[in-house]
Amino acid sequence: MAQESIDDFIQMAKDYAKAEKELGVQHWVFVSIERKGEFGDRERIYSYDLPRELYERRKWVIRWRAAKLQCQYPKDSINCYLSYYDNRLGNDLKLTDDLRTLISCKAQVSKQQRLIDEYVAWHRTNDLFFDEENDDGLMKVRKKLAQKVANVKAAEERLKLKIKEYETERKRLDTASR
């Protein structure tokens, strides 16, 4: 394998961001500040449920709160725990894993399509006898890419259905608890 450059990683991050935007991912973070007593008992003292952008801009508030609590409980250990999640899915790990897999697959499809476009553009300018329709390697890659795109679309539909089921279940539980 060839050594990857930083541009490859930046492009991969852009592909991930594009896939997340297409799927409508809502980044949130649950911040829990807990105190661990002398006997190992844990007690949640404070918690925040914030959009991730707000957390990134206001990290100092969390650090300040933890420092204040450390001053209030000097003999205890104060720990701050973060849980990143998609607000539509909650902290359900199964759905979050499905979403991460789908985002990764969409990013791979974008990368493969970009590589095909670069290959075709290079051969059009540098190869007089290049025939895009009869290039065996290109035809195989495009066929595999078409299959991957179909699989991604099917997985996307399955995930959207799971999200709808999850949201209706969450609404049902919210109305039942009122």
* E-state strands within 37-178: 42-51, 77-86
Confidence of residue 132 (pLDDT cuts 50, 70, 90): confident
pLDDT in tens, 14-56: 887 887 787 778 889 999 999 998 888 999 999 999 999 999 9
Q: Please tell me the predicted confidence (pLDDT) of residue 9.
A: 79
Contact 35, 77 (CB under 8 A): yes
Cβ count within 10 A of residue 81 = 11
Pick from 2-6, 108-112, 145-149: least confident: 2-6
For the chain, the structural domain boundaries read 6-24+92-177, 27-86
Given phi > 0 = left and psi -120 to 50 = alpha, else beta, which region is 85? beta
